[in-house]
């Protein structure tokens, strides 16, 4: 762990304790999950826990005590027997040193130490409701303390959701995070370009998926950020298609939604291209439409705009295109108001991106002066990162010109809001018709 950035993670813990003001926060990492019999799913740490610690081992909990500005890690013991089977473990002492905690204990001491740490704390920050196991365990610590009331020990009166504070912090990416996100984006963009060069009609979708996995792993990404979608022909009209087991036909478009995870950070890219390297006229009409909707949406990603502006801009372009191409009838306003466009565009234009592919953070903010429950879209601010991913999915239907049937297109990039506009992190993945056709010719 030579490159581990102690300051970055310790600054996050201190920031959280500042936001808490007082009280104690408890953030456990994710459990290991059995897949079948003795095999586990690949382990993935909890994103909140990782954000605060940089610590990737399972069976760990971080505890922050705001008034003392103290951070404490609980983790697995060193254990030569287990390490022979499963690999290296830090153990409490080395973890404290390496990751910069004030104190560290064996996870086996958690119950005993926590009942002491919780005593007389005014407020408990925890993600109540996330895991019944942790809800019950923490409740049991509070109950132990309640039996000590006559000895003058008090139990926190207040329980607050620690995720509320962490979500806001996670929304604004630091330079350290952005370097990882850019690297994650570069690896995924390279994989999309590689897929365009590799693909030929007659291959199976899973052969193309294998190109992605190879490109991700050989560049040091630890995993795909989500299950890759490799959808040829009509499969592209199933939004979450991931069987990836169809033979790719001559004349098909191939929609690929695939990104990787690098040190926790996701990239999320979709490209759609013709398997044989040449768009047909109807494919090109719809492709150019989605591409111009995406350009209009990206132009709205800047600090003068709110969260929904890119979606509104994409919809405006798509609806006009649907009318021009005779997919929708009537005026733009009528198609928007009736929602008729949803036959072809039924999802939103993006989401926050970071440690989670659909990252933490509110999309709306409570608006002052409006009645209770009223919200407005939050403003975009420098450091926020999001995807911009309009699409168009045409299933066979009587009201649809037949030459568009079974065409599914999405174009997705990862974008960072900057002080004067935005930066497209995934711009290395080619996406104009001429760039794609040129790349596929070689
Ligand atoms: N790949 C998931 C998404 O695009 O939201
Ligand atoms: Mn996405
Ligand atoms: Mn995606």
Q: Is the CB of 357 under 6 A from ligand 1?
A: yes
pLDDT 10s digits, 70-80: 999 999 999 99
Q: What is the pLDDT, as a whole number, of residue 1?
A: 41
Alpha carbon nearest to ligand 1 atom 3, residue: 268
What is the Rg, in whole angstroms, of the alpha carbon atoms belonging to the chain?
Answer: 25
Tell me the C-alpha to C-alpha distance, in Å, between residue 250 and each of 2, 222, 277, 409.
Answer: 49, 34, 10, 17
Domain 172-441 -> CATH class: alpha beta
Q: What is the pLDDT, as a whole number, of residue 2?
A: 44
Q: What is the pLDDT, as a whole number, of residue 372?
A: 65
Provide the residues around ligand 2 (an ion) whose CB is within 5 A: 268, 387
Calpha distance 97→341 (Å, rounded):
57
- Annotated catalytic residue within 345, 410, 413, 414: 410
How many CB atoms lie under 10 A from the CB of residue 50? Answer: 21
Q: What are phi and psi of 70, to 5 degrees?
A: -115, 135
Burial of 74 (0-12, 13-18, 19+ CB in 10 A): buried
Nearest to 43, CA basis, from 61, 31, 53, 55: 31
Tell me the C-alpha to C-alpha distance, in Å, between residue 110 and each of 6, 63, 104, 114.
Answer: 24, 10, 11, 6
The predicted model scores a pTM of 0.96
423 has which bridge partners? Answer: 416
State yes or no: is 240 an active-site residue.
yes
Q: What is the pLDDT, as a whole number, of residue 169?
A: 98
State yes or no: is 389 an active-site residue.
yes
Q: Name the region of 406 (left: φ>0; alpha: ψ -120 to 50; beta: rest).
A: left
CA angle, 304 then 309 then 310, to 5° = 110
Q: What is the pLDDT, as a whole number, of residue 369?
A: 60
Provide the residues around ligand 3 (an ion) whose CB is within 5 A: 257, 268, 412
User: DSSP per residue over 65-83, as a string?
Assistant: ETTTTEEEEEEPPP-HHHH
Which atom of ligand 1 lies at the shortest distance from residue 351's CA?
5
Which atom of ligand 1 lies at the shortest distance from residue 389's CA?
4
Which atom of ligand 1 lies at the shortest distance from residue 226's CA?
1
Domains 6-169 and 172-441 alike in fold: no
Q: What are phi and psi of 220, to 5 degrees?
A: 95, 0
State yes or no: is 412 an active-site residue.
yes
Domains of the chain: which residue ranges?
6-169, 172-441
Burial of 132 (0-12, 13-18, 19+ CB in 10 A): exposed
Q: Which helix (H) or strand (E) holds 134?
A: helix 132-146
State yes or no: is 226 an active-site residue.
no
Q: What architecture is domain 6-169?
A: 3-Layer(aba) Sandwich (3.40)
Q: How much distance in Å is there from the Cα of 258 to the middle of ligand 2? A: 9
Ranges in the chain, pLDDT < 70: 1-3, 367-374
Q: Is the CB of 389 under 6 A from ligand 1?
A: yes
Q: Is the CB of 413 under 6 A from ligand 1?
A: no
């Amino acid at each position: 762990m030579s490159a581990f950035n102690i300051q970055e993670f310790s600054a996050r813990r201190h920031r959280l304790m500042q936001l808490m003001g007082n009280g104690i926060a408890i953030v456990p990492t994710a459990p290991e999950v059995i897949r079948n019999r003795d095999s586990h799913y690949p382990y993935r740490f909890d994103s909140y826990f990782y954000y605060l610690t940089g610590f990737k081992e399972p069976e760990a909990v971080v505890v922050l005590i705001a008034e003392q500005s103290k951070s404490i890690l609980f983790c697995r013991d060193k254990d030569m027997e287990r390490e022979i089977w499963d690999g290296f473990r830090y153990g409490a002492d080395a973890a404290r040193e390496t990751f910069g905690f004030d104190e560290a204990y064996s996870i086996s001491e958690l119950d005993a130490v926590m009942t002491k740490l919780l005593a007389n704390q005014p407020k408990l920050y925890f993600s109540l409701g996330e895991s019944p196991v942790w809800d019950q365990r923490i409740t049991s610590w509070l109950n132990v303390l309640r039996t000590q009331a006559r000895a003058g020990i008090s139990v926190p009166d207040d329980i607050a959701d620690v995720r509320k504070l962490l979500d806001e912090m996670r929304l604004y990416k630091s330079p350290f995070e952005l370097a990882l996100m850019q690297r994650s984006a570069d690896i995924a963009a390279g994989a999309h370009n590689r897929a365009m060069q590799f693909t030929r009609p007659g291959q199976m979708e899973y052969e193309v998926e294998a190109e992605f996995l190879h490109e991700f792993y050989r560049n040091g990404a630890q995993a795909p950020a989500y299950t890759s979608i490799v959808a040829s022909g009509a499969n592209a009209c199933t939004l979450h298609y991931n069987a990836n087991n169809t033979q790719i036909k001559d004349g098909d478009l191939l929609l690929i939604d695939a990104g990787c995870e690098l040190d926790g950070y996701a990239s999320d890219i979709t490209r759609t291209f013709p398997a044989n390297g040449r768009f047909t006229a109807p494919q090109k009409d719809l492709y150019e439409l989605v591409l111009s909707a995406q350009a209009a949406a990206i132009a709205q990603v800047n600090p003068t705009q709110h969260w929904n502006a890119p979606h509104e801009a994409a919809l405006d372009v798509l609806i006009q295109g649907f009318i021009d191409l005779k997919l929708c009838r009537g005026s733009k306003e009528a198609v928007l108001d009736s929602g008729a466009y949803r036959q072809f565009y039924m999802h939103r234009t993006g989401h926050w991106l970071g440690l989670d592919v659909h990252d933490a953070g509110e999309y709306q903010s409570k608006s002052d002066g409006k009645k209770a429950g009223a919200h407005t879209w939050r403003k975009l601010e420098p450091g926020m990162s999001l995807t911009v991913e309009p699409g168009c999915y045409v299933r066979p239907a009587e009201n649809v010109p037949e030459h568009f049937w079974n065409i599914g297109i999405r174009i997705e990039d990862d974008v960072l809001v900057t002080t004067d506009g935005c930066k497209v992190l995934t711009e290395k993945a080619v996406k104009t018709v001429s760039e794609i056709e040129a790349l596929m010719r070689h």
